[in-house]
Amino acid sequence: MRRLLVPLLILLSVGTTPAADKPFTVRWLGQSFVTVETPSGKTIAFDPQVMVEFERKEPLKADFVCVSHPHNDHNRVEEAIADGKDPKKVTVFQGLKADPTKPNRPAEWAKLDEKVKVGDATYRFRTFGCYHDEMGGLKRGKNAAFIVEADGLTFCHLGDLGHSFTEAEAKVIGPVDVLFIPIGGTYTINAETAKEVVDVLKPRLYVVPIHFAVENKPESLLGPDEFVEWFKDTKKTPDTNELVIPKDAKADKFTPVILGWQKK
């Protein structure tokens, strides 16, 4: 019996990676659609979209979905929980909420701060109320930035941010490890304002641009060239949409990374 026990233990250990040793995997799926696969095996999706410019080829089964605002290139929740995932097992966080008794009123900030138990880990989902434009929402309404703490790292997704932040606002948002920031202009901040936001938020590990044109599509948005002008040390990965981050990642300064929109 003892002779069988050791090989059996070895067999059980092969191919099994403890959560503590697994990295985070970030994927950009076009526009503001980003997913984060955590070491504890959950997938968090931000601002899912269905756009012809960014047709998705791989299946996705998110466990959590975060929607910054209810525009149709950010709120396609069904896209994030398709491919056989039971919708009842998916937690959806809406950054804005409408008052059903006042159908003609714009949606207001949901003011979210929730903790979710995931096995031995606890995830925290927070929102920070901001605006879709530089005029206090008069042009395009409100927007919600999501701050998500999971397995030791903090991710901040700014949705369709339309303005910079003050030092006081940055203090409320708190420390950020990985920042997803729009740079395409027109409907959001451009690269110059993105530089201001990065300077005030001071992300620790990565700055990942979102909501910009790829090969001139969407035509209404700017491409990433201006971002590269402001961030000379930008790393480009046109052949993959993935960014793998060790759970214990350390850095003297953040790395700007422009991802491809899908894995080739």
| The pLDDT value given to residue 23 | 98
d(CA 251, CA 131): 31
Which has more confidence, 103 or 184? 184
Task: Answer for the pair 25, 242: CB distance below 8 angstroms, yes or no.
Answer: yes
What's the distance, CA 23 to chain centroid? 16
H/E stretch holding 4: helix 2-13
Q: Which amino acid is at 253?
A: K
Task: Answer for the pair 125, 110: CB distance below 8 angstroms, yes or no.
Answer: no
Q: How far is CA 199 from CA 14, 165, 203, 207, in A?
A: 45, 10, 8, 11
**Would you place residue 13 in the very low, low, confident or very high pLDDT band (cuts 50, 70, 90)?**
very low
Q: Is the pLDDT of residue 82 over 70?
A: no
Closest CA to 132 of 107, 149, 114, 112: 107
| pLDDT per position as a tens digit, 207-227 | 999 999 999 999 999 999 999
| Mean pLDDT computed over 7-35 | 71
| The pLDDT value given to residue 55 | 86
| pLDDT per position as a tens digit, 89-98 | 899 999 999 8
**Phi/psi of residue 89, nearest 5 degrees:** -100, 10
| pLDDT per position as a tens digit, 123-147 | 999 999 999 999 998 899 999 999 9
- In order of their start, the domains of the chain are 20-247 (3.60.15.10)
Do the bridges between strand 113-118 and strand 108-109 make them parallel or antiparallel, or are there none, so unpaired?
unpaired
Which has more confidence, 174 or 11? 174
| Mean pLDDT computed over 47-67 | 88
